[in-house]
Chains A and B, each alone.
Chain A
Amino acid sequence: MNFDQWLLVFILLSSFVTGLVIFFLKEEAHRLRTLANLFGALLKVILVGVMIAGVQANHVYESRLELLPGLDLVLHADAMSVLFATLSSVLWLVTTLYAVGYLEDEPHRSRFFGFFSICVSATTGVALAGNLITFLIFYEILTLSTYPLVVHRGTEKSLQAGRTYLIYTLSGGALLLLATVWLHTLAGPLEFSLGGTLAQVATQHRAELIAIFALLIAGLGVKAALFPLHGWLPQAMVAPAPVSALLHAVAVVKAGAFGIVRVVYDLYGVRTAEDLGVLAPLAGVAAFTIIYGSVRALFQDDLKRRLAFSTVSQVSYIALGTALFGYLSTIGGLTHLVHQGIMKITLFFCAGIFAHTLGVHKVSEMAGLGLRMPWSMTAFTIAALGMIGVPPFAGFISKWYIGLGAVSSGSYWAVAVLAASSALNAAYFLPILHAAWFRKRQDPWPADHAHGAGEGHWMLLAPPLATAALVVAAGVLANAPFSPLEWVRFIAEMEYGK
């Protein structure tokens, strides 16, 4: 047996099997379930570590299964998949810890953690997919495995949100399927490789490829919450906080954004896409979504809804960086894939702590929170400043590169969009920070479960502190080897052949 062939399969199975085992655990088996959860998560991080080391040492990791004659299920580790797989496996580990603490005494935990694990397997599958059909398969499994998480509370409101979620994502999936089959009939196996594989086909089937690109982006844009396909995201906020964290930072939204990245860089190839003239409309939609999301966020009093609209805006940075043709903006967009993840997951972790420990759900209830919960609020502050783009935090790095890319490709309008969006980000985050740190608390907390002191369980507090530390590290140590920026630079160099 060749280990290199099986490593990627093991990475998928590490969380999938965990999920299946958890389904069959009794509700009361709290320790056993936590043990299985953490074991699966740690094993996955270790296996991903082995994969990174192997890719560095020029190992080729690939697994194939023939689905039909001429149609393969392919798992393949390249620089891009390593980036996303690392992000999702590391953040899954911290989210698992957080979720165990968060759902301490809620019903249906076995169901929850079972689907939670399967959801992460699907995300890893999305990351490791070596061709478009494999990507599509895991993308749809992701839709199905997140539905039970979104409706976990079982209330009328969460079922409604689940219904909206499915209508959006399944319709998007249908478009994606149509585009995939169509492209398959024109161009064959559709394997992902840096620089793209469609340059040849583009000369004969120009119009078709443009139409297919539009369908692909429409299908992927649902999950990436591109305007006007973002409607499900704010509604899905009714899910428990760990789910929101997962949806926004690691799994669903990221899978959509990652899909756009794959299509542009590894399927069409950025040069072919530029040549077809499909990047400019994508950049336009992304820019509009950035502004639109920020403006909507400004008017939300519900903290999680404000964060949700912030996600709508921030994820489009990835699409914008991808769509602005150029080496530097590519670096910015791809780095933001990672940076947005660690920042947004920190914010959702903190929002969850506020709600869980003190019953604070609204921005207007946050006065004095910094004195009451200094650790959580510090983590929140770091992530919020990063989102605005304040140096030296992670968000600054990615925005800087997108801006540089916009200037170097002559798209000055994009710089204006970035500036406006940063101003809006500041407008909806700074009042929160101001109220939390500098305003005095008048009323009692809505529901103080910690009885006047403490910040809740350590399992809740440790994850945001860890991810906040990552936000700082990704910014300060941006030029260190193995930082997201360095890794992305390596990808961009290959794409542009520098």
Chain B
Amino acid sequence: MTLWDTAPWLIWSIVLPLSAGILTFLFRRAAPWIGIITTLGSAVSVAALAGQVTHAGPLRYSVGGWGVPLGVDLRADGLSVLMLGMSAVIAVAVSVYASRYFSDSDATDKHTAQAHQRAYFWPLWMFLLAGLNGLFLAADIFHLYVTLELLGFAAVSLAALAGKRAAVAAAMRYLLVSLSGSLFFLFGVAILYAAYATVDLTALAGKVQPGPLAWSALALMAAGLLIKGAVFPLHFWLPPAHANAPTPVSALLSALVVKASFYILLRLWFELFSTVVTPAAASFLGLLGAGAILWGSAQALNQTRLKLLVAYSTVAQLGYLMLVFPLAQHVGSALTAWSACIYFVLAHACAKTAMFLAVGNIAHAAGHDRIAELDGITQALPLSVAAFALAGISLIGLPPSGGFIAKWMLLQAAISSGEWGWATLILAGSLLAAAYVMRVLWHAFTQVAVARPLHRVPRTMEWSALALSLLAVLLGLMAARPVELLRSGAPVSIHAPGQT
């Protein structure tokens, strides 16, 4: 056992961005470099942690050695590690992109206060990353609440960063949604703490009994998370907030922030309340997902602005995640459904970040993001259009992308448990996604006689989009190990919730 093997790597993924948040605030000129180095360092610590969990199984770490019930405990299992890995990869790519986006004098809208954006983006983004990583490692529901709140504040401030009227209005709505969501969640936490005198996830899971008390706690917490996670029909705040933010922020909000709520919901549903949840509730969440897929896709088909199209695509894609609840009902297919939805989260994060970054490049070059006027854009930005197309392949779920493998597992879970309705929905959603992605790519092949004058887009910004989209596609060819890792500490291999 070397120091490398035993070091508490999980704490570094929180401490690094937290200190970087303060440093980037103090040393503004060096902020982009601090940001990039921090995300790289945090990626290294996640990689080391992944090695530990692969070899030794789930980990638990008491910060400062206090332990339950006094101190703060962190824990890492397969699910946490994959979520941390996702945020690490996205963080590096977005930081590299942002280092050019906010520094290039040409790259931001002239009318907004650039210096202001540059000054606040990095500290907020570092705090957001710290909150996110803390959330993925939290071992108790109070800590989950705190990190969720930190994440929410950082996200809202970032969404307002553009400073334009539309952005501020959207951010205000986002703030209200975020606060009320957290409040619901906090009520649930309070109820559980009052009844069982502990907040630790594992301890609570052993104590919670089906009954009005547990049901109301679950209902409150789930409602809060569904609002914050923008699950249909509570998604109304998402498209304006995501579409009006600066490009790197849109990418972070769509790829990472909404996933945090879903992650907590998974923890609650499959661990804390696994004895409490009912098949009817699971089907209800599945139906919300179906609504999201159909409604989000239909809205994406109707948008005239590119960023809104991509934002509505997020609404639709989040719907697929909800299918894990009904599909994991069946003992035989529970592990497949569990792996499917988590792999879906990873694939969607890469693809959606790539897509938002590519769309940001296109909007920057053209000076607008009206879909109908994008003819001839490929000649100017072949790499960004390629990134959009590759990301689109993963969102549609075409092979060999990560989205394909996720949908393969979802279909497998649906068919092997005889759920033909869900199987049909999954395929229909893919065809709808193909329709809205192709609406954009349509303009990639049109010929224009005279190319319109376009702004220059820095190479770094084009390549960071392309790199992530390639990763989204290649995720399809390297699923075996992550899926294996997911079994480490997975709550579904032992039993399926709602069935005893």
Contact = CB atoms under 8 A, between A and B. Distances in A.
Interface of A: 65-69, 71, 73, 107, 136-137, 140-141, 144, 148, 151-155, 159, 162-163, 166, 170-171, 173-174, 177-178, 181-182, 184-185
Contact of B483 (A69, A141, A178, A181): A69
A137 B438 contact: no
A148 B445 contact: yes
Interface in B434-450: 434, 438, 442, 445-447
B479 A67 contact: yes
10 contacts: A67-B476, A67-B479, A68-B409, A68-B483, A151-B445, A163-B442, A166-B438, A173-B398, A177-B408, A181-B408
B399 A68 contact: no
B411 interface: yes
A351 B398 CA distance: 34
B243 to A, nearest CB: 26
Interface stretch (B123-131, B141-149, B423-431): B423-431
A166 B435 CA distance: 9
B489 interface: no
B445 A154 contact: yes
Contact of A170 (B434, B476, B479, B483): B434
Given A140-B398, A141-B399, A68 B480 contact: yes
B58 interface: no
B427 A66 contact: no
A178 B423 contact: yes
Contacts of A171: 431
Contacts of A153: 447
Interface in B465-500: 476-477, 479-480, 483-484
A177 B427 contact: yes
Interface of B: 393, 398-400, 404-405, 408-409, 411-412, 415-416, 423, 427, 430-431, 434, 438, 442, 445-447, 476-477, 479-480, 483-484
Say whether chain A's binding surface is mostly helix, strand, loop, or mixed: helix
A178 B404 CA distance: 12
A177 B400 CA distance: 13
B393, B405, B409, B480, most chain A CB atoms within 10 A? B480
Nearest to A153: B447
A152 B446 CA distance: 9
Nearest to A154: B447
B411 A162 contact: no
Contacts of B484: 69
B383 to A, nearest CB: 10
Nearest to A181: B411
B412 A184 contact: yes
A24 to B, nearest CB: 9
B445 A182 contact: no
B479 A68 contact: yes
A151, A154, A184, A185, most chain B CB atoms within 10 A? A185
Given A151-B445, A159-B445, 19 more contacts: A65-B477, A67-B480, A68-B408, A69-B483, A136-B399, A137-B404, A140-B399, A152-B445, A159-B446, A162-B445, A171-B431, A173-B398, A174-B431, A177-B427, A178-B411, A181-B408, A181-B411, A182-B415, A184-B412
A107 B412 contact: no
A128 to B, nearest CB: 15
B399 A174 contact: no
Nearest to B412: A181
B323 to A, nearest CB: 15
A178 B483 CA distance: 22
User: Which 8 residue pairs spanning A and B have beta carbons closest together?
Assistant: A154-B447, A137-B399, A66-B480, A185-B416, A181-B411, A151-B445, A174-B427, A140-B399
Nearest to B414: A181
A69 B480 contact: yes
Contacts of A66: 480
A345 to B, nearest CB: 25
Contacts of B393: 144
B412 A67 contact: no
Contacts of A174: 427, 430-431
Contacts of A67: 405, 476-477, 479-480
Nearest to B441: A147
A141 B480 CA distance: 21
Contacts of B431: 170-171, 174
A73 B423 CA distance: 23
